[in-house]
Amino acid sequence: MEITASHNTFVQMFNLELNKKNIHDVEMTKDNYKHVLANENKKTKTLQEELKRVDLENKDLKRQIQSYKLEIDNNKMDYTNLIFALRNELKSETNRLNVLNERNKELDNIIKNQKAHLEKVQANIENEIRKRKNVERKIYFRWNQKI
């Protein structure tokens, strides 16, 4: 029995030592987990800060994109208005050109009529000059005959 008691005592002491070791290991493991958890918490916090920063950048980029879209829309409207204004101006100038072309045709007809009238007047003047020369010749001829 003594061996058994001694064995039991040894086993109890061994178990006690084993429990102490296990408790120590558990404490060490707890400390390690605390360190790991603290590191993971730091990483998580850093990642959360990075996520906030990226979210802010995304919001800023979305605002910039919206601003560019508005600017593009405004430019489209400006160009559309400019195109309409140019079309209207082109129509106006085309109408003005058509009016000027009509006026040119009228002036061409007036010039043709004036030219024809001037040719008639010139022909009449030339006829009148010939008549006068003939009259002068006749007068001169008669005058010379009298002398």
What is the reported pLDDT for 3? 54
Q: Spell 23-50 as b/e; 16+ CB within 10 A means b.
A: eeeeeeeeeeeeeeeeeeeeeeeeeeee
Whether residue 57 has pLDDT greater than 80: yes
By residue count, the chain amounts to 147
Kind and range of the H or E element at 8? helix 2-146
Residues 6+ apart with CB under 8 A from 139: none
pLDDT tens digits for 13-24?
667 676 766 666
Q: Using CA atoms, how far apart are residues 142 and 136, in angstroms rounded to an integer?
A: 10
Mean pLDDT of the chain: 86
The mean pLDDT of 43-67, rounded to a whole number, is 96
